[in-house]
Chain A
Amino acid sequence: QSALTQPASVSGSPGQSITISCTGSSNDIGAYKYVSWYQHHPGKAPKLIIYDVSSRPSGVSDRFSASKFGDTASLTISGLQAEDEADYYCCSYTRSNTWMLGGGTKLTVL
């Protein structure tokens, strides 16, 4: 098992939009709708922000959106705010009945 591939870091200015990619394979992202995204502020528990590829839990801002094409999932954050600065992780169910997380992407709001 190796981690899903995410860029190590992305950055953007307040008000801008950024996109984080998450690349897997036909054994995970490409095979299932169980792709989710998590926001992790250091010292706090991670928070679910996207499930089932593109659905938002109640209470999560509509500035967060996501999609999937083939073996790659993407998370877009629009209208960047200072509070969005955090680590972001993708996650997918796999054909082995296990779960795989991405390596994480550090978002810096300039």
Chain B
Amino acid sequence: DVQLVESGGGLIQPGGSLRLSCVASGFTFSNYDMHWVRHVAGKGLEWVAVVGAAFDTYYADSVRGRFTISRENAKNSVDLQMNTLRAADTGVYYCIRDREGAFDSWGQGTLVSVSS
């Protein structure tokens, strides 16, 4: 079975940094694009970033220049480095496997709270 387990969330002050990690199992990790999507209370789901199987990366306008997505195939992991955090970044962050252009497997999510 596909499993995605996120970690690294927590309470952080505005302007701070946080690094989320996601460890995958149950599939050949190196063959898949991997995404981060966040759920913001009262606003819904927002796509954040993707790292392709070829290590290409793309970002939502709202996080470009502040967030960095990366992967390490040897560890079956995908990370999201989040800098200069804002209150608007508060939400549950999900790690997701992309299968042929759809988000077919989701982790359980990790909560990020940006507040002073």
Contacts and interface: CB of A to CB of B under 8 A. Distances in A.
Interface of A: 1, 3, 32-34, 36, 38, 40, 45-48, 51-52, 57, 87, 89, 91, 93, 96-104
Contacts of B78: none
A45 B45 contact: no
B102 to A, nearest CB: 4
Residue from the set B44, B108, B109 with the largest chain A CB neighbour count within 10 Å: B44
A36 B102 contact: yes
B26 interface: no
Contacts of B62: 1
A99 B60 CA distance: 8
Contacts of B35: 99
Given A34-B101, A52-B101, A45 B106 contact: yes
Contacts of B99: 51
A40 to B, nearest CB: 7
Interface of B: 35, 37, 39, 43-47, 50, 58-62, 94, 99-104, 106-109
A46 B102 contact: no
A34 B50 CA distance: 15
A11 B105 CA distance: 28
Contacts of B44: 3, 87, 89, 101-104
B46 A45 contact: no
Given A1-B60, A99-B50, A38 B107 contact: no
A91 B58 contact: no
Given A46-B94, A51-B100, A99-B50, A38 B109 contact: no
A101 B46 contact: yes
Residue from the set A96, A101, A102 with the largest chain B CB neighbour count within 10 Å: A101
Contacts of A101: 37, 44-47
